[in-house]
Amino acid sequence: MYLTHLECPRCGRESAADTVQNLCECGSPLLARYDLPAVAKAVTPERFGLRPADLWRYRELLPVGDPRHVTTLGEGWTPLLRAPTYGAEIGIADLMVKDEGLIPTGSFKARGAAVGVSRARELGVERIAMPTNGNAGSAWATYAARAGMGATIVMPLEAPSICRRECVAAGADLRLIDGLISDAGRRVAELIAASDGAIFDAGTLREPYRLEGKKTMGYEIVEQLGWQAPDVIIYPTGGGVGLIGIHKALHELRELGWIGDKLPRLVAVQSTGCAPIVRAFAAGEDRAQPWADAQTVAFGITVPAPLGDELILAALRESSGTAVAVDDADILADLRDFAAREGLLLCPEGAACLTAARQLRAGGWIRADERVVVLNTGSGLKYPDTVDVSGVPLLV
């Protein structure tokens, strides 16, 4: 294993990677660091194509040392699909969609769960707990069951109902709350505090290894493009782990010498009903203030106070990127338009990225000749109410 230590991006403090860790003493998330020169000597990009089509093909850059602890359902290596018809309509000829809806449990959350559960298993964790907007909870419950680990999941009542069913099916201790993910987070904190160390906090960015699973989206995009980086990557941003992870992956690839110095501009997409990152970015601030009365049809990005706000904002600014808030009505319209033209039903969070792409192209921030990758973070089938079928005639 090439994992060397954990590093705090805020205060610079280094921590050992061989013990269970949550946040740094200063309150910041911790980042996993690797001996990248040794990785470069051990493997070359050409080798990955000879390995299985899952995220574990990048094992030298992942934090699990003993393969016996790897907990997998074949996650990763999702398709990167061209969208020529819709792209031509909005003026982006080279528009592509990374479709995470085909991953186990139907969303990109399975990447973080696979690596996070595997590393927790290797470090001796027996039960995890976490708040969730739905998909992360169902993914962690599923992978915890596969690892023989207990899971307590606290989820808002308004989360997609399929997610609570997945948790129950996986044998998780599911608890529902009439509120937002921030309210669920407070309940999880109480449970962990009362457990006397028996429950591990696996909440978003509260442990270092969920991020490592999600960064593999960045590796895959680059490998699928022939080890070339696109010009723009557009990502729906709630907790922001995927965006932070892609940013981390791109920097690791550059340091390894596997891509050039020019990195993609990153775009964080939020809803006008919950846009703390967009507001902070526009104001030039390093931290985001909590968003009041958060609500949007894109429930997965309803995160009023993301723990990783500093890391998200830093990634946007370092990549010369931007942050965009889009309306729910536009999200649903673009979801339907894309499905009618390209045959793929996106989740509302993925559709929000299309809305952002369309608006950024119309405003000139995206140029017509640029290669743009949009992340569809989950299957549209988990959100059946996004398509209105009330007007469909009944034949008699």
Q: What is the pLDDT of residues 317-330, one digit of tens each?
A: 999 999 999 999 99
Buried b / exposed e across 294-320, counting CB within 10 Å, b at 16+? bebbbbbbbbbbbbbbbbbbebbeebe
Q: What distance, in Å, lies between the first and last C-alpha atoms of the chain? A: 65
Would you give per-residue pLDDT tens digits along the chain (396 residues)? 999 999 999 999 999 999 999 999 999 999 999 999 999 999 999 999 999 999 999 999 999 999 999 999 999 999 999 999 999 999 999 999 999 999 999 999 999 999 999 999 999 999 999 999 999 999 999 999 999 999 999 999 999 999 999 999 999 999 999 999 999 999 999 999 999 999 999 999 999 999 999 999 999 999 999 999 999 999 999 999 999 999 999 999 999 999 999 999 999 999 999 999 999 999 999 999 999 999 999 999 999 999 999 999 999 999 999 999 999 999 999 999 999 999 999 999 999 999 999 999 999 999 999 999 999 999 999 999 999 999 999 998
Query: Please, what CATH class does the domain formed by 80-107+211-382 belong to?
Result: alpha beta
pTM (predicted TM-score): 0.96
- Of 227, 229, 269, 271, residue with least CA distance to 246: 229
pLDDT of residue 272: 98
Alpha helix ranges (H) inside the chain: 36-42, 45-48, 84-90, 109-122, 135-147, 161-169, 181-193, 210-214, 216-224, 241-256, 276-283, 309-318, 328-342, 348-362
- Convert the pLDDT of each residue in 237-266 to its tens digit: 999 999 999 999 999 999 999 999 999 999
Strand, helix or coil at 47? Answer: helix
Query: 52 by DSSP, 3-state: which?
Result: coil
